[in-house]
Amino acid sequence: MGNMFGKEKPLKEQLRENKRMITRAIRELDRETRSLQKEEQRLTIEIKKMARENQMKAVKIMARDLVRTRQYVTRFIEMRSQLQGCALKLQTVKTHAAMADAMSSTALAMKKMNKAVDVPAINKMMAEFERENMKAEMMQEMMGDAMDDVMDNDEEEEDRIVGQVLDEIGIDMSEGIPNAPEMGLATATSNGPLKDDGGKVAVGVGENGGTNGAAGG
């Protein structure tokens, strides 16, 4: 019907129809071969029967039919083998056609993808990413340095405040904080505060266990 209107059948449809025809022909050959084999068995039995009955003329005629039947069986088997080979060739052609279609579709998809991908835009984006990444690393490094400076300033401020407090209570940081006097020094400290060479008063323990001290100068 398609060829009547000038429309050519697709390759897949043609291959399907040809395979269907070959399968039908192989099925008919198998059926005829089985029929001839049954006829061969029947002729063999009849020949043996006629030979026992000594009917040699009938034996010769049936022997001729038996030979002809066996020849047709051989021919049908050969024809079936040839049709099977044709079916395999059609299957190979169908596989090649499917492979060609797949490759064509893949090539078309790759072409569309290559068109969709803007290489200059990607290069520009990568360059911007690298530039912004460098900026972020530099900013992180600067923030780290600033935090280190702040921490250093905090330590200096702490040291200054501690030194100021110690100066107010008359302790010199350069000489270190004196250890607490032992109990044997109680009489000495009870008589009065101890002065160091620098004129500053050191902290002592009195008789009642309290601390006595006065700022020097």
**193 C-beta neighbours (distance < 10 Å), count:** 15
User: Across the chain, what does the average pLDDT equal?
Assistant: 75
Q: What is the 3-state secondary structure (H, E, C) of 167-187?
A: HHCCCCCCCCCCCCCCHHHHH
Q: What is the pLDDT of residue 5?
A: 55
Average pLDDT over residues 166-187: 56
The answer to which of 11-15, 151-155, 204-208 has the lowest mean pLDDT is 204-208
pTM over 0.75: no
The answer to which of 14-28, 48-62, 115-129, 169-183 has the lowest mean pLDDT is 169-183
170: pLDDT strictly greater than 60: yes
6: confidence class by pLDDT, cuts 50, 70, 90? low
Q: What is the pLDDT of residue 41?
A: 92
125-158: pLDDT as tens digits: 888 888 888 888 888 888 877 777 666 656 666 6
Rg, Å, the chain Cα set:
58
118: confidence class by pLDDT, cuts 50, 70, 90? confident
Q: Which two tokens stand for residue 48?
A: 């043996």
Nearest to 176 by CA among 166, 186, 168: 166
| Residue bearing tokens 């109990």 | 183
Within 53-118, residue ranges assigned H as helices are 56-116
